[in-house]
Amino acid sequence: MFLKQKIISGQVILGILLLLLSASSEGKVVINVKSLEPTNTSAIIIKTTVAVKDTLLLPAKKDTSDKGQAGNDSLTITEITASAGKYDRANRLHYAMIDSMAKVIMEFPLRDSAGLRYAPDWVGTSNMGLRRPNYVIIHHTATNNCNNVIQEFTTPGVREASAHYLICNDGTVYHMLNDLLRSHHAGDSKWGNTTDLNSSSIGIELDNNGYQPFSEEQMASLTILLGRLKNTYKIPDANFIGHGDIAPARKMDPNYRFPWKELSEKGFGLWWDDTTDVRVPDNFDYLMGLRIIGYDISAPDSAVAAFKRHFMKDNSGGNMNGMVRKIIYMLYRRYQ
Protein backbone atom coordinates (compact mmCIF):
# COMPACT_ATOMS: atom_id res chain seq x y z
CA MET A 1 0.00 0.00 0.00
CA PHE A 2 1.39 3.43 -0.94
CA LEU A 3 0.69 6.94 0.31
CA LYS A 4 0.12 9.80 -2.14
CA GLN A 5 -0.79 12.67 0.12
CA LYS A 6 -2.03 12.22 3.65
CA ILE A 7 -2.61 14.91 6.27
CA ILE A 8 -1.81 13.73 9.77
CA SER A 9 -4.29 15.22 12.24
CA GLY A 10 -6.15 14.40 15.43
CA GLN A 11 -5.24 14.84 19.08
CA VAL A 12 -3.09 11.75 19.45
CA ILE A 13 -0.88 12.36 16.41
CA LEU A 14 -0.65 16.09 17.11
CA GLY A 15 0.43 15.22 20.62
CA ILE A 16 3.30 13.10 19.34
CA LEU A 17 4.26 15.78 16.83
CA LEU A 18 4.28 18.39 19.58
CA LEU A 19 6.55 16.12 21.55
CA LEU A 20 8.94 15.96 18.64
CA LEU A 21 8.73 19.42 17.11
CA SER A 22 9.67 22.62 18.91
CA ALA A 23 6.99 24.22 21.04
CA SER A 24 6.66 27.08 18.54
CA SER A 25 5.70 24.91 15.56
CA GLU A 26 2.12 24.96 14.37
CA GLY A 27 -0.10 23.87 11.50
CA LYS A 28 -0.27 20.56 9.63
CA VAL A 29 2.48 18.34 8.31
CA VAL A 30 1.75 16.94 4.88
CA ILE A 31 3.44 13.73 3.76
CA ASN A 32 3.90 13.60 0.01
CA VAL A 33 5.83 10.46 -0.85
CA LYS A 34 5.45 8.52 -4.09
CA SER A 35 6.54 5.15 -2.79
CA LEU A 36 6.39 4.84 0.98
CA GLU A 37 5.12 1.63 2.50
CA PRO A 38 3.53 2.58 5.86
CA THR A 39 4.48 -0.43 7.91
CA ASN A 40 4.74 1.62 11.10
CA THR A 41 2.82 4.85 11.68
CA SER A 42 5.20 6.10 14.36
CA ALA A 43 8.16 5.58 12.04
CA ILE A 44 6.43 7.69 9.37
CA ILE A 45 5.81 10.46 11.87
CA ILE A 46 9.40 10.40 13.09
CA LYS A 47 10.91 10.41 9.61
CA THR A 48 8.69 13.31 8.60
CA THR A 49 9.47 15.23 11.77
CA VAL A 50 13.21 14.70 11.43
CA ALA A 51 13.10 16.02 7.89
CA VAL A 52 11.07 19.05 8.92
CA LYS A 53 13.39 19.80 11.84
CA ASP A 54 16.44 19.64 9.59
CA THR A 55 15.07 22.64 7.66
CA LEU A 56 14.62 24.59 10.90
CA LEU A 57 10.96 24.87 9.88
CA LEU A 58 11.67 26.81 6.71
CA PRO A 59 8.55 27.82 4.74
CA ALA A 60 7.57 25.36 2.07
CA LYS A 61 7.95 26.29 -1.58
CA LYS A 62 4.80 27.34 -3.37
CA ASP A 63 3.46 24.61 -5.65
CA THR A 64 1.99 26.31 -8.68
CA SER A 65 1.26 23.11 -10.57
CA ASP A 66 -2.22 21.66 -11.03
CA LYS A 67 -1.26 18.78 -8.72
CA GLY A 68 -0.25 20.97 -5.80
CA GLN A 69 -3.26 21.15 -3.50
CA ALA A 70 -1.59 21.15 -0.11
CA GLY A 71 -1.53 24.93 0.34
CA ASN A 72 1.25 27.36 1.18
CA ASP A 73 1.33 26.45 4.88
CA SER A 74 2.16 22.78 4.28
CA LEU A 75 5.58 21.14 4.28
CA THR A 76 6.26 18.14 2.08
CA ILE A 77 9.09 15.66 2.35
CA THR A 78 9.98 16.12 -1.32
CA GLU A 79 10.65 19.81 -0.70
CA ILE A 80 13.02 19.28 2.21
CA THR A 81 16.66 19.38 1.20
CA ALA A 82 18.50 21.42 3.86
CA SER A 83 21.22 19.70 5.89
CA ALA A 84 21.47 19.78 9.66
CA GLY A 85 24.53 22.08 9.58
CA LYS A 86 27.63 21.93 11.74
CA TYR A 87 25.82 20.13 14.56
CA ASP A 88 24.75 17.30 12.27
CA ARG A 89 26.14 14.50 14.44
CA ALA A 90 24.60 15.85 17.64
CA ASN A 91 21.26 16.39 15.92
CA ARG A 92 21.21 12.85 14.57
CA LEU A 93 21.77 11.51 18.09
CA HIS A 94 18.96 13.82 19.25
CA TYR A 95 16.54 12.35 16.71
CA ALA A 96 17.63 8.81 17.52
CA MET A 97 16.73 9.44 21.14
CA ILE A 98 13.35 10.86 20.13
CA ASP A 99 12.80 7.80 17.94
CA SER A 100 13.37 5.46 20.89
CA MET A 101 10.99 7.45 23.10
CA ALA A 102 8.29 7.51 20.44
CA LYS A 103 8.47 3.72 20.25
CA VAL A 104 7.84 3.55 24.00
CA ILE A 105 4.77 5.79 23.60
CA MET A 106 3.41 3.60 20.80
CA GLU A 107 3.80 0.37 22.81
CA PHE A 108 0.32 0.19 24.27
CA PRO A 109 -1.26 -1.63 25.95
CA LEU A 110 1.74 -2.31 28.13
CA ARG A 111 2.77 -5.86 28.89
CA ASP A 112 3.59 -6.32 32.54
CA SER A 113 3.74 -9.02 35.20
CA ALA A 114 1.87 -7.17 37.93
CA GLY A 115 -0.90 -9.77 37.97
CA LEU A 116 -3.61 -7.29 36.99
CA ARG A 117 -6.77 -8.71 35.46
CA TYR A 118 -6.87 -6.75 32.21
CA ALA A 119 -9.99 -6.59 30.06
CA PRO A 120 -9.74 -8.85 26.99
CA ASP A 121 -10.13 -5.89 24.61
CA TRP A 122 -7.94 -2.82 25.01
CA VAL A 123 -9.70 0.56 24.81
CA GLY A 124 -7.80 3.84 24.51
CA THR A 125 -9.03 7.33 25.31
CA SER A 126 -8.57 10.34 23.06
CA ASN A 127 -9.05 12.72 26.02
CA MET A 128 -5.39 13.46 26.61
CA GLY A 129 -2.70 16.06 26.40
CA LEU A 130 1.02 16.40 27.01
CA ARG A 131 2.33 17.00 30.50
CA ARG A 132 3.38 20.59 31.04
CA PRO A 133 6.26 22.13 33.05
CA ASN A 134 5.35 23.94 36.26
CA TYR A 135 8.76 25.38 37.23
CA VAL A 136 11.58 27.27 35.54
CA ILE A 137 15.05 26.61 36.95
CA ILE A 138 17.80 29.09 36.07
CA HIS A 139 21.46 28.02 36.03
CA HIS A 140 24.83 29.47 35.13
CA THR A 141 27.15 27.33 33.04
CA ALA A 142 30.36 27.80 35.08
CA THR A 143 32.26 27.89 31.77
CA ASN A 144 33.86 30.65 29.74
CA ASN A 145 31.85 30.34 26.53
CA CYS A 146 28.80 28.70 24.96
CA ASN A 147 30.82 26.33 22.79
CA ASN A 148 32.08 24.46 25.84
CA VAL A 149 28.52 23.93 27.04
CA ILE A 150 27.25 22.82 23.62
CA GLN A 151 30.03 20.26 23.43
CA GLU A 152 29.17 18.91 26.88
CA PHE A 153 25.43 18.82 26.23
CA THR A 154 25.85 16.96 22.94
CA THR A 155 28.40 14.35 24.04
CA PRO A 156 26.78 11.05 25.09
CA GLY A 157 28.19 8.77 27.74
CA VAL A 158 29.98 11.41 29.82
CA ARG A 159 28.08 13.46 32.42
CA GLU A 160 24.99 13.55 30.22
CA ALA A 161 23.83 16.93 31.53
CA SER A 162 21.51 19.06 29.44
CA ALA A 163 19.06 21.96 29.50
CA HIS A 164 16.12 23.09 27.45
CA TYR A 165 17.71 26.46 26.68
CA LEU A 166 21.21 27.91 26.58
CA ILE A 167 21.57 31.71 26.44
CA CYS A 168 25.00 33.02 25.45
CA ASN A 169 26.58 36.21 26.73
CA ASP A 170 25.64 38.06 23.54
CA GLY A 171 21.98 37.10 23.92
CA THR A 172 21.98 34.25 21.38
CA VAL A 173 19.51 31.53 22.40
CA TYR A 174 19.91 27.81 21.72
CA HIS A 175 16.67 25.86 22.18
CA MET A 176 18.25 22.45 22.70
CA LEU A 177 15.28 20.37 23.83
CA ASN A 178 11.53 20.52 23.41
CA ASP A 179 9.87 22.13 26.43
CA LEU A 180 7.73 19.03 26.94
CA LEU A 181 10.66 16.63 27.19
CA ARG A 182 12.68 15.93 30.34
CA SER A 183 16.19 17.40 30.38
CA HIS A 184 18.95 16.47 32.82
CA HIS A 185 19.52 19.83 34.47
CA ALA A 186 18.31 19.71 38.09
CA GLY A 187 20.04 16.60 39.38
CA ASP A 188 19.56 15.62 43.02
CA SER A 189 17.23 18.41 44.10
CA LYS A 190 14.14 19.30 46.08
CA TRP A 191 11.71 22.22 46.29
CA GLY A 192 8.87 21.92 48.76
CA ASN A 193 7.58 18.38 48.36
CA THR A 194 8.79 18.07 44.76
CA THR A 195 11.77 15.76 44.51
CA ASP A 196 11.99 15.19 40.75
CA LEU A 197 12.43 18.71 39.38
CA ASN A 198 13.70 17.36 36.05
CA SER A 199 10.24 15.99 35.34
CA SER A 200 8.34 19.18 36.15
CA SER A 201 10.59 22.03 35.06
CA ILE A 202 12.28 23.91 32.24
CA GLY A 203 16.05 24.28 32.62
CA ILE A 204 17.73 27.46 31.36
CA GLU A 205 21.52 27.74 31.32
CA LEU A 206 23.13 31.19 31.19
CA ASP A 207 26.64 31.49 29.76
CA ASN A 208 28.52 32.73 32.84
CA ASN A 209 31.66 31.54 34.60
CA GLY A 210 30.04 31.92 38.02
CA TYR A 211 31.83 35.10 39.05
CA GLN A 212 30.84 37.69 36.48
CA PRO A 213 27.72 39.85 36.09
CA PHE A 214 25.08 38.85 33.55
CA SER A 215 25.10 40.93 30.36
CA GLU A 216 22.24 43.19 29.27
CA GLU A 217 21.86 41.23 26.03
CA GLN A 218 21.63 37.97 27.94
CA MET A 219 19.06 39.32 30.38
CA ALA A 220 16.99 40.80 27.56
CA SER A 221 16.77 37.40 25.87
CA LEU A 222 16.04 35.69 29.18
CA THR A 223 13.20 38.10 29.98
CA ILE A 224 11.53 37.49 26.62
CA LEU A 225 11.90 33.73 27.05
CA LEU A 226 10.52 33.75 30.59
CA GLY A 227 7.52 35.71 29.41
CA ARG A 228 6.76 33.14 26.71
CA LEU A 229 7.18 30.21 29.10
CA LYS A 230 5.00 31.82 31.75
CA ASN A 231 2.19 32.60 29.31
CA THR A 232 2.37 29.27 27.48
CA TYR A 233 2.46 26.99 30.52
CA LYS A 234 0.75 29.22 33.13
CA ILE A 235 3.73 28.97 35.48
CA PRO A 236 3.09 30.69 38.84
CA ASP A 237 5.24 33.70 39.77
CA ALA A 238 6.76 31.84 42.73
CA ASN A 239 7.99 28.96 40.56
CA PHE A 240 10.83 30.84 38.85
CA ILE A 241 13.82 29.79 40.95
CA GLY A 242 17.51 28.97 40.72
CA HIS A 243 19.55 25.78 40.75
CA GLY A 244 21.08 26.86 44.04
CA ASP A 245 17.59 27.10 45.57
CA ILE A 246 16.65 23.51 44.74
CA ALA A 247 20.09 22.00 45.53
CA PRO A 248 21.50 24.32 48.23
CA ALA A 249 24.06 21.87 49.59
CA ARG A 250 25.85 21.41 46.28
CA LYS A 251 25.01 24.26 43.87
CA MET A 252 25.38 28.04 43.89
CA ASP A 253 23.97 29.04 40.52
CA PRO A 254 23.03 31.46 39.24
CA ASN A 255 25.64 33.44 41.15
CA TYR A 256 24.75 36.15 43.67
CA ARG A 257 24.98 38.88 41.01
CA PHE A 258 21.89 37.55 39.25
CA PRO A 259 19.11 40.22 39.21
CA TRP A 260 16.31 38.32 40.95
CA LYS A 261 14.67 41.51 42.24
CA GLU A 262 14.38 43.03 38.76
CA LEU A 263 12.90 39.80 37.39
CA SER A 264 10.39 39.60 40.25
CA GLU A 265 9.12 43.05 39.27
CA LYS A 266 8.22 41.54 35.88
CA GLY A 267 6.41 38.58 37.41
CA PHE A 268 9.23 36.02 37.49
CA GLY A 269 9.78 35.04 41.12
CA LEU A 270 8.69 36.60 44.40
CA TRP A 271 10.39 39.32 46.43
CA TRP A 272 10.08 41.03 49.78
CA ASP A 273 8.74 44.49 50.61
CA ASP A 274 9.95 47.29 52.87
CA THR A 275 10.98 45.88 56.26
CA THR A 276 10.82 49.14 58.22
CA ASP A 277 7.69 48.43 60.28
CA VAL A 278 7.88 44.66 60.24
CA ARG A 279 8.09 42.91 63.59
CA VAL A 280 9.04 39.25 63.63
CA PRO A 281 7.25 37.15 66.29
CA ASP A 282 9.57 35.89 69.00
CA ASN A 283 8.49 32.30 68.38
CA PHE A 284 9.11 32.43 64.63
CA ASP A 285 11.21 29.44 63.50
CA TYR A 286 13.28 30.67 60.57
CA LEU A 287 14.05 27.10 59.41
CA MET A 288 10.34 26.31 59.19
CA GLY A 289 10.00 29.58 57.31
CA LEU A 290 12.60 28.43 54.80
CA ARG A 291 10.81 25.09 54.55
CA ILE A 292 7.49 26.81 53.75
CA ILE A 293 9.21 28.91 51.06
CA GLY A 294 10.48 25.69 49.49
CA TYR A 295 14.04 25.12 50.69
CA ASP A 296 15.37 21.74 51.72
CA ILE A 297 16.46 22.38 55.32
CA SER A 298 18.26 19.07 55.84
CA ALA A 299 21.49 21.10 55.66
CA PRO A 300 20.42 24.31 57.51
CA ASP A 301 23.50 26.42 56.81
CA SER A 302 23.33 25.63 53.10
CA ALA A 303 19.63 26.55 52.99
CA VAL A 304 20.32 29.90 54.69
CA ALA A 305 23.26 30.58 52.35
CA ALA A 306 21.11 29.83 49.29
CA PHE A 307 18.34 32.10 50.56
CA LYS A 308 20.76 34.98 51.17
CA ARG A 309 22.34 34.55 47.75
CA HIS A 310 18.95 34.68 46.03
CA PHE A 311 17.05 37.25 48.07
CA MET A 312 19.81 39.48 49.44
CA LYS A 313 22.64 39.22 46.88
CA ASP A 314 24.73 38.13 49.85
CA ASN A 315 27.41 35.50 49.27
CA SER A 316 28.66 35.36 52.87
CA GLY A 317 27.37 31.88 53.70
CA GLY A 318 24.93 30.49 56.25
CA ASN A 319 25.40 32.82 59.20
CA MET A 320 22.14 34.28 60.57
CA ASN A 321 21.28 37.77 61.80
CA GLY A 322 18.16 39.81 62.50
CA MET A 323 17.82 41.16 58.97
CA VAL A 324 18.02 37.70 57.38
CA ARG A 325 15.42 36.43 59.83
CA LYS A 326 13.10 39.34 59.02
CA ILE A 327 13.30 38.79 55.27
CA ILE A 328 12.70 35.06 55.69
CA TYR A 329 9.62 35.93 57.75
CA MET A 330 8.28 38.32 55.11
CA LEU A 331 8.70 35.78 52.30
CA TYR A 332 7.34 32.96 54.45
CA ARG A 333 4.11 34.97 54.74
CA ARG A 334 3.93 35.39 50.96
CA TYR A 335 4.51 31.69 50.27
CA GLN A 336 1.95 30.47 52.82
CA–CA–CA angle 171, 177, 180 (5° rounding): 120
- Residue 138's contacts (CB-CB under 8 Å, 6 or more residues apart) are 204, 206, 222, 240, 241, 242, 243, 253, 254, 258
Rounded to whole angstroms, the Cα distance separating 164 from 210 reads: 20
- What's the CA gap between 126 and 120, in Å, rounded? 20
Is 205 annotated as catalytic? yes
- The alpha-helical segments, DSSP class H, found in 120-215 are 146-153
DSSP 164: S
Residue 93: what are its φ and ψ, rounded to 5°? Answer: -65, -40
Buried b (16+ CB within 10 A) or exposed e, 215-240: beebbebbeebbeebbeebebeebbb
Task: Check 37, 107, 152, 205 and give the catalytic one.
Answer: 205
DSSP 311-326: HS---S-S---HHHHH
Catalytic positions are 205
